[in-house]
Amino acid sequence: MATRALLILAITAAALGTALGATYTVGAPAGSWDLRTNYAQWTSTVKFRAGDQLVFKYSPAAHNVVEVSKADYDACSNSSPLASFQTGNDVIPLPAAGSRYFICGVPGHCDGGMKIRVNVEAAASSTGALPPAVSPRAAAPAMAPVPSARAPASGGQAVPPSSSATTSTSAGSWGLGLAGVFAAGLMAFC
């Protein structure tokens, strides 16, 4: 019975990691959110899926992160931000498929290359099959801090975070429900 319980526990851990998505530190392992990293090259090496999250690591005295529209991304403009972050360790969930656009709002930094377009694919569908025992996407992400509104240095109005930056993902809720199902199954075998 102990072997069966350990097997169920291992399957639960793998399923939860897959359900919650992966965490990607922008620019890692060679860079971070800075003026040296080639973000087009970095994003070409990663396949983002709904339920994943991005972590922007940087010095808040030197940089920030601003989510913008495609037009503002192309123009390197932060005049109409969708969300603004400035903690230096910003965790941004990617709950749905689609493109997201981020720039550094410090003058000249976006033009200097601090901009990233993230293309998020739909999450893998659940077929009822057991997840693989080892999955590169099986690392459970850290809890995302809720970004706070910030007042721009120019004295303008505070910029509230976008709703996508503060809501939990449905994959995370599904993963928690899955944990309950497996926990009940584990109890039945013990």
**What does the alpha-carbon distance between residue 68 and residue 84 come to, in Å, rounded to a whole number?**
9
**For residues 13 and 1, what is the distance between their CA atoms, to the nearest angstrom?**
19
Query: What's the confidence (pLDDT) of residue 154?
Result: 39
Cβ contacts of 71 within 8 Å, gap of 6 or more: 77
In angstroms, rounded to a whole number, what is the distance separating the alpha carbons of residues 51 and 113? 27
Ranges 17-31, 54-68, 174-188, most confident: 54-68
Contact 71, 82 (CB under 8 A): no
The answer to pTM > 0.75 is no
- 7 has a pLDDT exceeding 70: no
CB of 83 within 8 A of CB of 162?
yes
Does 159 score more than 60 pLDDT? no
Is pLDDT at 121 greater than 70 in this prediction?
yes
- 23-125+135-169: which CATH architecture? Sandwich (2.60)
